[in-house]
Amino acid sequence: MKLPRVLRIVSLAAAVGAALIVRADDGMWLLNNPPLAQLKERYGFEPSAAWLEHVQRSAVRFNNGGSGSFASADGLIITNHHVGFDAIFKLSTKEHDLLKEGFHAKTRTEERKCVDLELNVLQSIEDVTAKVNAGVRADMSPAEVLAARNTAKAAIEKESFDATGLRSDVVVLYQGAQYHLYRYKVYTDVRLVFAPEEQAAFFGGDPDNFEYPRFNLDIALFRAYENGQPAKVEHFLKWNPAGTQEGDLVFLAGHPGTTQRLITMAELEYARDIQVPGALRWMKSREVLLNSFAKRGQENARQVQDEIRGIENSRKVYDGRIGGLLDPELVAAKQAEEDALRKFAQDKPELGASDAWDKIAEAQRVIASTAVRNSFLETYFFNSDLYKVARDLVRSSIEGAKPNGERLPEYRDSAKTTFELALFSAKPIHPEVEKLKIEHYLTLMAMELGANDPAVQTALGGKSPAARAAELVQGTQVLAVAHRKALYGQPAAALAKTNDSMVQLALAMEPFARATRKTIDQQNEAKQQAHARIAKVRYAKDGDKVSPDATFTLRLSYGAVKGIDGAGNQVPAYTKLGGMAERAAERGNVSPYNLPESWAAAKGRLNADVPFNFISTCYSIGGNSGSPVMNRNGEFIGIIFDGSIETLVWNYAFTEARARSISVDVRGIIEAMRSVYGADALVDELLGKK
Amino acid sequence: MKLPRVLRIVSLAAAVGAALIVRADDGMWLLNNPPLAQLKERYGFEPSAAWLEHVQRSAVRFNNGGSGSFASADGLIITNHHVGFDAIFKLSTKEHDLLKEGFHAKTRTEERKCVDLELNVLQSIEDVTAKVNAGVRADMSPAEVLAARNTAKAAIEKESFDATGLRSDVVVLYQGAQYHLYRYKVYTDVRLVFAPEEQAAFFGGDPDNFEYPRFNLDIALFRAYENGQPAKVEHFLKWNPAGTQEGDLVFLAGHPGTTQRLITMAELEYARDIQVPGALRWMKSREVLLNSFAKRGQENARQVQDEIRGIENSRKVYDGRIGGLLDPELVAAKQAEEDALRKFAQDKPELGASDAWDKIAEAQRVIASTAVRNSFLETYFFNSDLYKVARDLVRSSIEGAKPNGERLPEYRDSAKTTFELALFSAKPIHPEVEKLKIEHYLTLMAMELGANDPAVQTALGGKSPAARAAELVQGTQVLAVAHRKALYGQPAAALAKTNDSMVQLALAMEPFARATRKTIDQQNEAKQQAHARIAKVRYAKDGDKVSPDATFTLRLSYGAVKGIDGAGNQVPAYTKLGGMAERAAERGNVSPYNLPESWAAAKGRLNADVPFNFISTCYSIGGNSGSPVMNRNGEFIGIIFDGSIETLVWNYAFTEARARSISVDVRGIIEAMRSVYGADALVDELLGKK
């Protein structure tokens, strides 16, 4: 359920949507517009403003694509191991693979600073819809509206940042019906405190991913630092070691990435026919490539494990999505909802939305014709970290020469901290892996776009994919962070004079990439305008019963701890710590079901009966990984790390019968940390006993 | 280098081709037209007619897609383990996985009968070009020519079979310039005698496949039986335990599957843009699916290992091919050759071939527009053994009602033995695996052909892929061989009245499948007619210097044992038996580089210095696996099992610098069989000491 690669891939599709049909426990609610009526009606619970603010300020966004929460006054943070994976991976070396060994800082001086991890904590939300729309006039073309909104957004963000020093992002909600300004406190000094070995965190590996029952200690602890000292935080979640019972009301506060629950049928068909198939081709081909490379030896495997995990996860997500998109029941329900909405719009011409669906279909056709090409030119980055660096150098040079309001969003002043953290990251890059991946990318690009496409010919430079990949990797110096710093901020003309192969390639590809992106951006803007009109129809018809689609911003979900009933197919709500060893024995103790050595050694000490993982009906989606699960008192009683296979269609529609979110139980965390890892000091800090 | 899946996939493309440019040691020569001049000029060797006949009758075709040779007067046969894999796999059970354990029949009574293995031994070759073309008139359309030739071929085959009792196949050579009748002795009682564990046969697994140096005991021994007794054979290859030295002239006699060395640029572009990309999508998606299933447990892995090996192998082959197709040097050489040939044709209008290339391009355009659809409808069989059975029942019923000469080739009387062996095979079929694969197929089909395609809608039957797959597997009885026998031969009307889900599906899909196949067959015939004209131009220009493209019929190749020179990149011609343990130690003894237990236990006994694998310049391609390698005396000195990664483009063009065929050395076989496996009795039989 990790988000980063998913985000990268789905970024093509406009983030649009909400509930197909509003059902129990559905929704990813805004903290400034929580589902008070539903909570009161279904669970007799009314969160106070203080409760909401406490949750909001305790929740942490991991900018690599996940969630977490503060767990002590000294800035201790818990997230999933698989959310922390990227940071742990980047701290590992051939000699010390922390993913294999695990990590435990026994004192604060042993805590290890992460290479490029950024955390955000939401401080405030402000509705800026009127300001964003102030410059928009009815006679503008979509391109002009896009430019006007971009200028307004950039100004709002810059003004806020200059006034508060806080990261300030304008968030598009309800498909453009609302724009909210989110202000975040940013932490860039984040240190690794504790991580079990991956085999304990991800026991059962890819086969068990999105399955239940599970036995995963999918946790990692980090600590936020400020000025070289542990951050002092006012808001953190108190841990309640009593945990939950089946039936208890629980909450998630986290950062669901993107959903597409309000898309029209035209967009659904696009997802089914173009977007998901294209993403699956891209992922499966890379999965085969990297697994083949990994099998050549253990150091190979170590170098690419981060990417393999991400792809395996996303591939399962997309396999689940296409399954949903080809399910006639889901499609029929979507169609019925759209028919009803369109009829409502036609019956009320004063809403001015009856042609909105056709406008979306029209824009979608243009997107469909350029989407795959745009993926290769604009979002896949030659599947290369070195190319990504070179592209960022080239494009920041070009964009930096423009006024702030006219730049592409990721190059605005307000995004500078985030941008530079990534650009100057000292994360390990392996030239042999780069060569392999670029060769593969070039081959796939030629197969998908056609060998005679001018962009493909420019990319290949008159060579075979293998020869070109070797030439590109040998001819660049951007592997060195110092070299990146030397090139950063130079005008494009100066970059054009360097003989760096990757910089030259990025310059040569720039016209092709910009052209496809421009097409996609403009059509997405046209869709957004039509969606904003549909949102009004929906509001007129159904009122405020629907939460906005996910936007990787803070949301609140709720539900109950609940097992699964089903003829001959019951699944209990909880698993126990002892279950891991039992399953390992059943599966012959063979990878990915081998019992971690530390767990085998703890056999006499570990209380096998303590609850380990549990399932609940809370709505969650990629990006929610690491979200704290809380009880009515806002106390931490678990951490979400996965959803069952049935949740994968939640991207398009909510279904309830067997779909469940999966969490690690607070009781299992405490017992394992003490009995397996001897992390008593940390547990004491987590329980406020220090 | 195993052939079966490759064959299934490339069968779309017409088997057309020969040498791009005739170079040293190139060619897959007909036994009735060997390269006498080249052999004499380069190696001072002149094979006698007796030498050629002895080799021809000692060579064995494995009809699942490989080669082998008789090795004793009592019908003992040696082939590769990976050629025998399919047969060994089908003799394995959950309790006894012979791929993991290996197999050694210490007495003949312990030899185990294979489930559905057919072997062919070539008895004679007859040129029937005039007979095949007798009914063709200049004013016929391609469809009429196709029908006329099919009728003629069926009659020739039937007449030959009735007269001789031998399997009789008309083989298309030189793109239709020649037709030869091949008569084979057929063995269907074939028994497994000896196989090492797969870890010894395929040490290094997928990562080392197509690489060198290698350390593989890729052998398996079978025995042909007749009337319940070991077959007495006159021709078998004597083993020479002295082996070879670097520089020695060696020969291969085997059955290369298909090559495309004479295709035109239009066909090359089709391969690059449509055929190879389509095949790679199909393979990579299945590789991901099956590996994910295999990781769930050891019995899962056992059930799908056959298919995984096949896909991994083919995927490497196709990755190599696309690399060649995107290599500007290869393409430029192809283009130059075509330009020269077209100029020659234009300069000699009396050859009547100047428009042949345009005719091919025209036919290729039609094929391109229907090829992917045809793959899904006609050749992928829902990726299901159960559907394949049902389709064979349905189609043999329909075809059986027609005169022999009007049937599709695989349903002619002459193919009956082969057809029934497959149809009534008791090979294991696992319903859970079937469900998984059908769901995957349906999903992929919808993504590739579009969810609204009528064939897709028929296949899905108004259900989601998962629900439809479950329904299909539950609703069929063709898993039972007895049920197949009960349905076989029934008229289509009777089949239509059964309520068997798979039979009903096959009936429903039949119109779609036949329509695409008809298009492809007709266009391939049109291409063949144009190619026959080009073949005349080529003959007029270059004479008889080129061997026909591969057709999975017996061919002779020659070359020298030769290491690789290269700046800092030398590779010696031979590896040694001790090298396996050394490489295992280097790679941490982790799969696929773990030393087999039997080899670890043999450490004190095994002579580590004995040659194990060697490389030579002989031309080989998929299907050659298991071909005997012989010295000037026609003695067995090794067995080919692989080609280096550089040979993968040999499908399109011969290149020499670093490309090598890879063989197991006779000396390594003897030493390992004695010292690791204690198979002294078998070695004595192989050395004629019994």
Of the given ranges (A183-187, A293-297, B272-276, B638-642), which has the lowest mean pLDDT? A293-297
Tell me the longest C-alpha to C-alpha distance in chain A: 75
Whether pLDDT at B596 is above 70:
yes
Mutate to test the interface with B, among A211, A265, A274, A295 (most CBs of B within 10 A): A295
- Contact call for B295 and A447, based on CB within 8 A: no
A190, containing H or E segment: strand A189-195
Residue A492 CA from chain centroid, whole number: 32
Residues of B in contact with A284 (CB under 8 A): 284-285, 287-288
Restricting to A residues 255-314, those with a Cβ less than 8 Å away from any Cβ of B are: 269, 272-273, 276-277, 280-281, 284-285, 287-288, 291-292, 295-298
Q: What is the mean pLDDT of residues A476-504?
A: 97
pLDDT band, residue A24 (cuts 50/70/90)? low
Could you tell me if B395 and B408 are in contact, meaning their C-beta atoms sit under 8 angstroms apart? yes
Residues of A in contact with B590 (CB under 8 A): 298
pLDDT value, residue B146 = 86
Residues of A in contact with B328 (CB under 8 A): 462-464
Give just the sign of the alpha carbon dihedral B209, B212, B217, B219: positive
| Side chain identity at residue A371, one-letter code | A
For B460, counting Cβ atoms within 10 Å of its Cβ (0-12 exposed, 13-18 middle, 19+ buried), the class is buried
Tell me the longest C-alpha to C-alpha distance in chain B: 75
Higher-confidence position of B681 and A547:
B681
pLDDT value, residue B438 = 98
**pTM for the full model?**
0.91
Tokens 């200049």 belong to residue: B138
Listed in sequence order, the DSSP H helices in B91-175 are 98-101, 129-133, 142-164
Residues of A in contact with B206 (CB under 8 A): 292, 295
- Contact call for A323 and B464, based on CB within 8 A: yes
Restricting to B residues 323-362, those with a Cβ less than 8 Å away from any Cβ of A are: 323, 326-329
Could you tell me if B479 and B431 are in contact, meaning their C-beta atoms sit under 8 angstroms apart? yes
- Contact call for A288 and B284, based on CB within 8 A: yes
A318: nearest CA partner in chain B: B443
- How many CA within 13 A on the CB side of residue B374? 23
Give DSSP secondary structure letters for B484-517.
Answer: HHHHTT--HHHHHHS--HHHHHHHHHHHHHHHHH
Among partner residues A328, A447, A587, which is closest to B462 by beta-carbon distance? A328
Could you tell me if B280 and B319 are in contact, meaning their C-beta atoms sit under 8 angstroms apart? yes
pLDDT band, residue B649 (cuts 50/70/90)? confident
B296: nearest CA partner in chain A: A207
Could you tell me if B250 and B633 are in contact, meaning their C-beta atoms sit under 8 angstroms apart? no
Residues 6+ apart with CB under 8 A from B274: B368, B371, B372
> Token digits for A138?
């009815």
Restricting to A residues 202-231, those with a Cβ less than 8 Å away from any Cβ of B are: 205-207
C-alpha closest to that of A273 among B368, B372, B445: B445
Model confidence over B283-292: pLDDT tens digits?
999 999 999 9
Model confidence over B491-525: pLDDT tens digits?
999 999 999 999 999 999 999 999 999 999 999 98
Among partner residues A298, A328, A450, which is closest to B273 by beta-carbon distance? A450
Q: What is the mean pLDDT of residues B80-99?
A: 95
Q: Give the integer Cα–Cα distance in Å for A79 and A62.
A: 9
Whether pLDDT at B7 is above 70:
no
C-alpha closest to that of B5 among B560, B496, B383: B383
SS3 A180: strand
Burial code (b: 16+ CB inside 10 Å, e: under 16) for B212-246 equals: bbbbbbbbbbbbbbeeeebbebebbbbbbeebbee
> Token digits for B257?
């599957």
Phi, psi (5° rounding) for residue A11?
-60, -20
SS3 A528: helix
SS3 A140: coil
Q: Give the integer Cα–Cα distance in Å for B493 and B401.
A: 12
Q: Give the integer Cα–Cα distance in Å for A586 and B318.
A: 38
Could you tell me if A224 and A230 are in contact, meaning their C-beta atoms sit under 8 angstroms apart? yes
Residues of A in contact with B592 (CB under 8 A): 295
| Side chain identity at residue B521, one-letter code | D
Residues of B in contact with A587 (CB under 8 A): 296-298
Which 8-state DSSP code applies to residue B194?
Answer: E
Model confidence over B191-246: pLDDT tens digits?
999 999 999 999 999 999 999 999 999 999 999 999 999 999 999 999 999 999 99
Whether pLDDT at B403 is above 50:
yes
Which 8-state DSSP code applies to residue A246?
Answer: T
CB atoms within 10 A of CB B338: 17
Pairing of strands B29-30, B555-560: antiparallel
Could you tell me if B234 and B613 are in contact, meaning their C-beta atoms sit under 8 angstroms apart? no
What CA–CA distances, in Å, run from A247 to A77, A556, A572, A615, B214?
28, 19, 12, 11, 60
Query: What value does the mean pLDDT of chain B take?
Result: 92
Model confidence over A604-637: pLDDT tens digits?
999 999 999 999 999 999 999 999 999 999 999 9
Could you tell me if A271 and A321 are in contact, meaning their C-beta atoms sit under 8 angstroms apart? yes
For B623, counting Cβ atoms within 10 Å of its Cβ (0-12 exposed, 13-18 middle, 19+ buried), the class is buried
> Token digits for B560?
């020298």
Q: What is the mean pLDDT of residues A58-77?
A: 97
pLDDT band, residue B539 (cuts 50/70/90)? confident
CA distance B583 to chain A (A): 11
Q: Give the integer Cα–Cα distance in Å for A460 and A378.
A: 16
Among partner residues A323, A447, A448, which is closest to B466 by beta-carbon distance? A323
Among partner residues A448, A463, A590, which is closest to B328 by beta-carbon distance? A463
Q: What is the mean pLDDT of residues B169-192?
A: 93
- Contact call for A451 and B285, based on CB within 8 A: no
pLDDT band, residue A567 (cuts 50/70/90)? low
Residues 6+ apart with CB under 8 A from A159: none
Tokens 């990439």 belong to residue: A513
SS3 A571: strand
Radius of gyration of chain B, Cα coordinates, nearest whole angstrom? 25
Length of chain B: 690
> Token digits for A398?
């070009």
pLDDT band, residue B143 (cuts 50/70/90)? confident
Among partner residues A287, A297, A326, which is closest to B587 by beta-carbon distance? A297
pLDDT value, residue B567 = 64
Among partner residues B207, B292, B329, which is closest to A292 by beta-carbon distance? B207
pLDDT band, residue A653 (cuts 50/70/90)? confident
- How many CA within 13 A on the CB side of residue B426? 7
Q: Give the integer Cα–Cα distance in Å for A32 and A51.
A: 12
Which 8-state DSSP code applies to residue B127?
Answer: E
Model confidence over A99-129: pLDDT tens digits?
999 999 999 999 999 999 999 999 999 999 9
- For the CA atoms of A136, A140, A143, A149, the dihedral, rounded to the nearest 10 degrees, stands at 0
pLDDT value, residue A645 = 86
Could you tell me if B612 and B664 are in contact, meaning their C-beta atoms sit under 8 angstroms apart? yes
User: Hey, what domains does chain B have and what are their CATH numbers?
Assistant: 4-118+188-260+546-686 (2.40.10.120), 327-542 (no CATH)
CA distance A529 to chain B (A): 29
